[in-house]
Amino acid sequence: MSNRIAYTKPSITELEVQYATDAARHGWGPRCYDYIHRLERDFAAHLGVKHAIATSSCTGALHLGLAALGIGPGDEVILADSNWIASVAPVVHLGGTPVFVDILSDTWCLDPARVEAAITPRTKAIIAVHLYGSMSDMDRLMDIGKRHGVAIVEDAAEAIGSARGDQKAGSMGAFGTFSFHGTKTMTTGEGGMLVTNDSDLWRRVTVLSNHGRDASEPRQFFPLVTGYKFKMSNIAAAIGCAQVERIDELIAGKRRIMDRYRVLLRDVDGVSLNVEPEGTTNGYWMPTAVFERKTGVTRERLMAAFADADIDARVFFWPLSDLPMFTPRPENAESRSIAGRAINLPSYHDMDGNAQARVADVLKHLLRA
């Protein structure tokens, strides 16, 4: 049997199997949306928002929301340089112009001061990505948005379980989006969700998400606009319904894993982990170790060391402006620096103490080398 440690895998129980089986056997015809509507209702209740729309991915949810905001050619959208391509792809596909700004050194999220400095008359939206579960500074960002008349969008793909006070990630902006990819805290295999308290925006997204068909239109198969097809399947939603029922357990599992890493690395000098600033809750989707510059530990050394130890690991996201399709932004020094000396650590739900100790030993060995 392989001793390889995976960096992530979902937590699937008999409940998920039971619901998925029921959807496969009976979820057709008049019942083809039953689990989808149930998932939307239950996830909205979990977040404390008015509306939720299940989608085929978080990327699709973000695309729908930005389209509903009217993002198009000539519009600028500000977001952090340290992000996965999924956060910016919808902006590009809609014809908008992404504006990458640097991150804060502790949360790895948008630097509000850099955001405000980047606003122009063409700025239409600011996408606050709660990276690896860390909360963006929503107080300052919401204030910036209000003063400049700019929509604040929450990409909470990685932030199930994260919150600012009693406001859960995704519930504060014009809309929020979530990922239910197989690597996420809660999964439907592939899938996502758009959530909002704005009923007008919800109606626009509902139409756009179903090929432009409006539920109030009496003519069958008569779209009113050219929409999209980003719908989740009923079987995937069935798995999601089981996951929502277990969501407190799933979130607690992520926090338990992070607590173990803190204990294992508490006496290790030169390494910092995800932070949880006062007044916030971090869902800790992806525990991440950042080595101080003085250690000389690099991304390449980290990946090699984990490979030698038969452990999966992930690099910290490359700055988007380093990718070949975008213009370099060398002034975003924090994004570039952290990416070159950080690593995402394995964190699947049933990971035991021995596996986490193996991971911690790799980090310790690098500092002794």
- CA quadruple 342, 2, 360, 253: dihedral sign: positive
- Examine residue 331 and state whether it is found in any structural domain, yes or no: yes
| 353/325 same-domain check | yes
Question: Angle 173-174-176 (CA atoms, 0-180°, nearest 5)?
Answer: 65
How far is the C-alpha of 136 from the C-alpha of 165, rounded, in Å?
A: 13
- Examine residue 3 and state whether it is found in any structural domain, yes or no: no
Domain residues for the domain of 227 are 14-245
* pLDDT at res. 368: 87
3-state secondary structure of 189: strand
* pLDDT at res. 104: 98
- Examine residue 361 and state whether it is found in any structural domain, yes or no: yes
Q: What are the tens digits of pLDDT across the range 220-261?
A: 999 999 999 999 999 999 999 999 999 999 999 999 999 999
- Contact in structure between 176 and 62 (CB atoms under 8 Å): no
Domain boundary among 245, 260, 293: 245
Q: What are the tens digits of pLDDT across the range 85-102?
A: 999 999 999 999 999 999
pTM listed for this prediction: 0.96
- Examine residue 165 and state whether it is found in any structural domain, yes or no: yes
Rounded to an integer, the average pLDDT of 331-355 is 97
Looking at every residue in the chain, the average pLDDT score rounds to 97
298 sits in the region (left: phi over 0; alpha: psi -120 to 50; else beta) called beta
Q: What are the tens digits of pLDDT across the range 116-149?
A: 999 999 999 999 999 999 999 999 999 999 999 9
* pLDDT at res. 331: 97
Token pair recorded at residue 23: 């959807």
Is pLDDT above 60 for 17? yes
- Contact in structure between 285 and 264 (CB atoms under 8 Å): no
Q: Is 330 exposed, middle or buried (0-12, 13-18, 19+ CB in 10 A)?
A: exposed
- What lies within 8 Å, CB to CB, of 363 at 6+ separation is 265, 268, 271, 289
* pLDDT at res. 238: 98
Rounded to an integer, the average pLDDT of 32-51 is 98
Band of pLDDT at residue 195, cut at 50, 70 and 90: very high
Task: Provide φ and ψ at 335, rounded to 5°.
Answer: -60, -45
3-state secondary structure of 228: coil
Is pLDDT above 80 for 1? no
Band of pLDDT at residue 197, cut at 50, 70 and 90: very high
Domain boundary among 180, 214, 245: 245
Domain boundary among 226, 245, 264: 245
Q: What are the tens digits of pLDDT across the range 270-300?
A: 999 999 999 999 999 999 999 999 999 999 9
Q: Detail the DSSP E strand segments found in the chain.
A: 51-55, 76-80, 97-101, 123-129, 151-155, 163-164, 167-168, 175-179, 192-196, 271-272, 280-281, 288-291, 314-315, 342-344
Name which of 176, 129, 124 is nearest 151 in CA terms: 124
**What percentage of the chain carries pLDDT values higher than 90?**
98
- CA quadruple 248, 250, 252, 255: dihedral sign: negative
| 221/358 same-domain check | no
| 267/183 same-domain check | no
* pLDDT at res. 207: 96
